[in-house]
């Protein structure tokens, strides 16, 4: 899980579970086949954008809506998570 935001839901962020490592295939803008295996941020962005194609927004993927917050609150949440890890 990591924090995501989206222009479709402006001013908000949410903690969203995503696969850390994915493989996808398709065609580029020239009609050439692509087949990629990616991880990290790239994998998260591909899943986020594929959700849009299916009409799904990231809040619908969230498991805990208590972690659906205003962007101005993100530093508070990150500090809280660090403090909990240190305990």
Taking a C-beta distance cutoff of 8 angstroms, is the pair 51, 45 a contact? no
Whether pTM > 0.85 for this model: the answer is: no
Taking a C-beta distance cutoff of 8 angstroms, is the pair 6, 62 a contact? no
Please list the active-site residues: 49
Of 6, 29, 13, 7, nearest in space to 65 by CA: 13
Taking a C-beta distance cutoff of 8 angstroms, is the pair 43, 23 a contact? no
Phi, psi of 36 (to 5 degrees): -125, 145
Tens-digit pLDDT string for the chain (87 aa)? 999 999 999 999 999 999 999 999 999 999 999 999 999 999 999 999 999 999 999 999 999 999 999 988 888 878 887 888 887
Helix or strand run (H / E) with residue 13: strand 12-16
């Amino acid at each position: 899980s990591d924090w995501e935001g989206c222009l479709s839901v402006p001013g908000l962020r949410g903690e969203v579970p995503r696969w850390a490592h994915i493989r996808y295939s398709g065609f580029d803008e020239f009609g050439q086949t692509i087949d990629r295996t990616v991880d990290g941020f790239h994998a998260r962005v591909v899943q986020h954008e594929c959700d849009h194609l299916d009409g799904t927004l990231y809040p619908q993927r969230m498991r805990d809506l208590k972690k659906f917050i205003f962007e101005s609150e993100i530093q508070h949440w990150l500090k809280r998570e660090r403090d909990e890890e240190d305990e």
